[in-house]
Amino acid sequence: MLFGATWGRQFVPSLRAAWAGTARLSTSRRVGALKTGLVGLPNVGKSSLFNALLGTTQAEAANYPFCTIEPNVGTVLLPDERLDRLAHQQQAQRTVYTTLQYVDIAGLVRDASQGAGLGNQFLANIRECDLVVHVVRVFPDENVTHVEERIDPLADIDIIELELQLADLGQIERLRAKHKNLRLKEPVMHAAAEKLHHGLNSGLPASACELTEEEVAAVRSLGLITLKPMIYAINTEEDQLAEPTGATAELVSALAERGQHGVLVSAKFESELAILPPEDRLLFLEDLGLTPSQTGLGKLVRASYQRLDLLSFFTAGVTEARAWSLQRGAMAPQAAGVIHSDFEKHFIKAEVIAWDQLLEAGGFSQARERGWIRLEGREYAVQDGDVIVFKTAA
Ligand SMILES: Nc1nc2c(ncn2[C@@H]2O[C@H](COP(=O)(O)OP(=O)(O)OP(=O)(O)O)[C@@H](O)[C@H]2O)c(=O)[nH]1
Ligand SMILES: [Mg+2]
């Protein structure tokens, strides 16, 4: 199930079918979400992409710059076939998917930091995000206005990156002006602010300013945008999704050369597709030689999850089959803490089995008989796809 809400307005559950039609409408519910912010020039397809991701027409998408003024916020369930199969085996009464929240904001323009366009105040909404998706226009459609009156994706990227860096520089300058004696009171924050001031002034993103882990932690509350993980959503025509050519292929390799991660999407096409009944959607995709997992949206959601360095583990029983997000490399007690903070404190041990082994065994008791359920302690690094039963003293 998909939910949509508009910033500061009443929460509006969407009645549309789920993304790629795999989430089960009747049994899912909303859980706390990791936030992803969409940034880019005006009229590049941010709101179309937002609508496609949510399977809705919630965000107004139209052919004029600054169509979006107030941010749109919505939550997308992360479809997971492994969880669907576990839920089926356990005859779970409900299935709870992990979620990602998307925030669609106004377009940024050249000199936004000087007040051009709508300025850059609305970037405050991106400061709270865990991940940034930078939407870049490659589609050539002459009927859609480009604010720079030309199609040049790499030049567009440079404009946005400069504006994001200037917005971060503004944050650092405000911090320095507000706390004159930062050096004495918060030496780590002071050291970070000095490095950032120097780096951002020299045209580097905050992520390239060589902050130590402690320094990153000290400036976390500033929500520096160029310190966040970023993915480029390359917005192209639908016939480019399976095998890109021309300008789309050039951009993909230029980003790869820069060590950046680009995902091909076709925002307009995929937003139209997302509101079709699932059967029609599959027919349309078939026509293009695509499977649902080859759509830009599927790839973008998965890439977001990877870029956030997350894995999924599961809990499964008759009441509920549920996927949980966990930072890769986290230990079993931290996984318990995702479910309930008390569970981390009172963790004793974890019974663990890989999701496909549990399916193969036919259930927990059969898996136990075969000796497939492992007993793991505090030092166990949770693996993607683990099904876990926590034993706690809570
Ligand atoms: N041909 C084509 N048109 C697209 C594509 N994506 C978006 N558009 C069109 O471009 C126009 C702008 O799309 P929006 O989604 O409103 O763009 P936006 O980035 O949210 O724009 P602002 O809110 O003004 O910043 C609309 O007319 C869309 O239909 C695409 O992949 N191909
Ligand atoms: Mg918009």
| Domain residue ranges of the chain, discontinuous segments joined by + | 3-81+88-227, 329-392
Q: Which pair of tokens denotes residue 257?
A: 């050369």
The percentage of residues in the chain with a pLDDT greater than 90, rounded to a whole number, is 53
Angle (nearest 5°) at CA 297 between 263 and 37: 75
Tens-digit pLDDT profile for residues 316-359: 999 999 999 999 999 999 999 999 888 888 999 999 999 999 99
Residue 151 Cβ contacting ligand 1 at under 6 Å = no
Which CATH number, 3.30.710.10, 3.10.20.30, 3.30.200.20, 1.10.645.10, labels domain 329-392?
A: 3.10.20.30
pLDDT at 202 over 60: yes
Nearest CA to ligand 1 atom 16: 61
Residue 139 Cβ contacting ligand 1 at under 6 Å = yes
Task: Compute the mean pLDDT over every residue in the chain, rounded to the nearest whole number.
Answer: 85
Tens-digit pLDDT profile for residues 80-101: 889 999 999 999 999 998 888 8
Mean pLDDT of 265-276: 89
pLDDT at 21 over 50: no
Tens-digit pLDDT profile for residues 361-389: 999 999 999 999 999 999 999 999 999 99
Mutation probe of ligand 1 site: the residue of 58, 60, 67 with most atoms within 8 A of C-beta: 67
- SS3 for 217-267, per residue? HHCHHHCCHHHCCEEEEEECCHHHCCCCCHHHHHHHHHHHHCCCCEEEECH
Helices (H), the chain: 46-54, 81-90, 124-127, 153-178, 182-185, 187-201, 213-218, 246-257, 267-274, 278-287, 296-307, 332-339, 341-345, 355-361, 364-369
From the CA of 51, how far away is ligand 2's center (Å)? Answer: 10
pLDDT at 2: 29
Nearest CA to ligand 1 atom 27: 63
pLDDT at 26 over 50: no
From the CA of 335, how far away is ligand 1's center (Å)? Answer: 40
**Residue 33: pLDDT band with limits 50, 70, 90:** low
CA dist., res. 143 & res. 63, Å (int): 8
Which CATH number, 1.10.110.30, 1.10.150.300, 2.60.40.4070, 1.10.1060.10, labels domain 3-81+88-227?
A: 1.10.150.300
pLDDT at 223 over 50: yes
Mean pLDDT of 51-69: 79
Nearest to 80 by CA among 353, 311, 286, 272: 311
Tracing tokens 């399916």 back to the chain, one arrives at 359
Annotated binding site for ATP: 43-48
Lowest mean pLDDT among 104-108, 198-202, 313-317, 363-367: 104-108
Mutation probe of ligand 1 site: the residue of 43, 58, 160 with most atoms within 8 A of C-beta: 43
Residue 11 Cβ contacting ligand 1 at under 6 Å = no
Mean pLDDT of 139-161: 89
